Amino acid sequence: MSRIDFYHLKRRSLEETLPLLLQKTYASGKRALVKTAPDTVEPLSAWLWTYNDESFLPHGSQKDGFAAEQPIFITPGDENANSAEFLFLVNGSEYDCEQAKAFERVFNIFDGNDETALAQARNLWKLYKDASWEVCYWQQNESGKWEQKA
């Protein structure tokens, strides 16, 4: 059974959250495909190079080339160019349920303070649940830690 995790951002931003999840992914030896809106690929890539002076998170985008060699690949497209096991959907991006079954896990990270993002997450939840995926919902508590909700 395929699994999708919904990360409802309330206290922290995508820029604070995504690097942490990608660090865990990279440390586990898994590859990540980050699907984002076309106009956010390069700003997101630049952010991942500079977000922390004390860590290194290797990644690339189409601009960098060598997609197949990138442990983390940022793209607006649907092709799994780096043979990733984990798919991250950010900035309102979506992915076909059937095609997403090629990934071990899917992470949908959305801004809980944005009504459009909330509505989209609800629609994706229903879509994936109706397709018999295991769906998990995570929300930040008062201290910013993730708690799985029923």
> pTM (2 decimals)?
0.94
Helix axes 14-27, 41-50, angle to 10 degrees: 70
pLDDT of residue 31: 98
Question: Could you tell me which CATH number the domain at 3-142 has?
Answer: 3.40.50.10110
Query: Which H helix or E strand runs over 24?
Result: helix 14-27
CA dihedral sign of residues 33, 35, 38, 40: negative
pLDDT by residue (tens digit) across 103-112? 999 999 999 8
In the chain, where are the structural domains located? 3-142
Which residues of the chain fall short of a pLDDT of 70? Answer: 1, 150
